Every structure is written in structure tokens, then in C-alpha cells.
Structure 1
Amino acid sequence: MTDLPSWAKSGQSQWKYYGQKRPEFAHKPKEGQESVWDYPRPPKVDPDSREVLIIFANKIIARSTRAIRILETASPPTFYIPPSDLNSKYLVKAKGESKCEWKGEAIYWDVVVEDEKAIRAAWSYPKPFADFTKIKSHLAFYPSKVHCYVDGEHVKPQPGGFYGGWITREIVGPVKGESEETYL
């Protein structure tokens, strides 16, 4: 990645683990499972053909078999859904933004169904850094704010509130946000 802003370069330099060797404290995955400590840094863009379903207030907000998982050391996968698989009438651009040293600047989305609102329940990267152009304008959702499913399995949210990783039976950690310890 070249021509990155200084804040991104600084953020990238802070990490201790890069997915080359699973640390001793990491749980060993069983057959059919993935350790978040085997995921790389920089994160990997991984197309996923399983059905991903997002539901809020008994409405389908998104349904896709063309999601993209972002796999990053220490975090459960985050699923990004292409714009054409979103029910955009329930999405309203929200205030605020955040920065990811790998993907760029994110904007947020509220999910609104009649009188029910999930504030800042999703985010996207309208102008991602070069290595992440495949997720441009795709939306990722917080499973703590809306119901998220992968092939029918109800997703558990990543602990901590800030990160939006999706925990399923196939994921083993510990994951970032799960304890007091910082996994950089």
C-alpha cells in the first residue's frame, strides 16, 4: 500500500501479531473451524458464497450470496454486502465517521423500519484504500444492532461494542474485545 495518509501508516505500525504464527494463548481450531489468529494482517479480502441475511424489525434489510468477508488477525470475520443485495429503502446515512488503518475512512448507516431505528447499525467505505476496492460501497452490519445470519446460523456479535466481527461456530479466538488484554 503506497500513498497512505500518515494516520494509516502510524496505525499499521502499532500491531504486534500478523497471522504468521498462532500465539500460545490462542485456541486451537477443530476440524471445520478457523482461528482468528491465523488470519493475516493486512486483512484478507475473501469472497463468500454462503447466504448472508440481515433482519431488523421483521424486515429483510439484506440478503446475499455474494458477500465479502474481511479476515484480520485477532478479529472474527466482518461480512460486507454488495449494494445490489441491500434493501436501501431501510438505510439512512448517519452522522459520523471512523478510520481504519487498512481500509480507509468509513461512514455509517442507520437502519430504519417505520418507527424502529438501529442507530449506526452499518458502515461502509465509499473510497477504500487500493487493496480494499472490492468492498467499495458494500455495507457491513453490527450483529449487536440487527439480526445477522450466515447460512441460517444466528451470528453472535464481537465483544466490546466498537468492532463489528461476526462470531459463528466456525470461529475460535480469543477475539479482540473479549478481554482486558489488547491483542495488537
Structure 2
Amino acid sequence: MKMPGPDHPITLSPLNGRLTVRFRGVQVAQSDNAIELKEASYPPVIYVPRSDISIEHYERTEHRTHCPYKGDASYFSLNANGETAENAVWTYEEAYPSVKQIEGHVAFYPDRVTFEIH
């Protein structure tokens, strides 16, 4: 486990506004409690509480990845309108202590979904 620091900063902050996430025009999540994670020089990532997703569009996959700063990620594919985006969503079910706020949240690859902030 690596800790964020000056050489690899990670910040978490509430996303201002209501976030709607769509896949193929279908709403797959909507939240007033999304979190924006900024990590080093990577683009920001928005995490949505799992309680704010439309679970019928999600299918857990066997895909896993590891981040030395955040922990082990599990993945979901999205399904809507007869189309599927494999491993388009990830979650840290046991996030490391420095990013514990994202535990129980999901994040989306931005090239697979559309984000609307109101």
C-alpha cells in the first residue's frame, strides 16, 4: 500500500450539483452525493454512491485491477437498449484508508458514458 503525498497527491471533494450518468441514452445513475477524486496528473474521476445507481443495468464481471494507492477494484459491465459496455464501471469494495470515502461507490470510464451535472 502506498500513501498519497507530494509526489502523488490524491484529493477527494464533493461534486457540486446533481450528477446524472447515462449509457446509450439510459440513466444508469443519478446522485446529489457524488465525489470527485483528483489523483496526481490523471484526469479527475467521479465516484457515485452505489445506492444511487440503477442496478438493473450493471452486471458484475470477473475483471480485477489493483491500484497501490486505492486498493483492489472490481468491475461491472453496463447493459442498456440491447448494448453492452464491458468493464465500464469499477468499485473499490475495500478501499485503502487514505481514500476510504470512495468505498461503496462506483466510477465510470468517461468514454463509455455521458455525464450531466445540473
Aligned to 2:110: 143
Q: Distance in 1 between matches of 2:30 and 2:58?
A: 14
Aligned to 1:83: 50
Q: State whether structure 2 residue 35 is matched by structure 1 residue 57.
A: no
Q: Secondary structure at the match of 2:44?
A: strand
Specify every segment of 5 or more residues in structure 1 that has no aligned partner in the other structure, as ranges.
19-40, 152-184
Letter of the aligned partner of 2:87 in structure 1?
R
Q: Distance in 1 between matches of 2:60 and 2:77?
A: 6
Q: C-alpha displacement at 1:150, in angstroms?
A: 2.9
Q: Distance in 2 between matches of 1:76 and 1:115?
A: 30
- What's the CA shift string for 1:46-80, capped at 9, x where partnerless? 11232211111221000112101111121121000
Aligned to 1:113: 80
Q: Distance in 2 between matches of 1:95 and 1:149?
A: 29
Aligned length: 118
Partner of residue 127 from structure 1, selected from 82, 85, 94: 94
Specify every segment of 5 or more residues in structure 2 that has no aligned partner in the other structure, as ranges.
none
Q: Secondary structure at the match of 1:76?
A: coil
Q: C-alpha displacement at 1:101, in angstroms?
A: 1.4
Runs of 4+ in 1 over 4 A off after TM superposition: none
Aligned to 2:36: 69
Query: What TM-score, normalized by structure 1, do the two folds share?
Result: 0.59
**Greater Rg over alpha carbons, structure:** 1
Letter of the aligned partner of 2:10 in structure 1?
P
Letter of the aligned partner of 2:68 in structure 1?
E
Q: Secondary structure at the match of 2:107?
A: strand
Q: Distance in 2 between matches of 1:94 and 1:149?
A: 26
Q: C-alpha displacement at 1:114, in angstroms?
A: 4.6
Higher strand share: 2
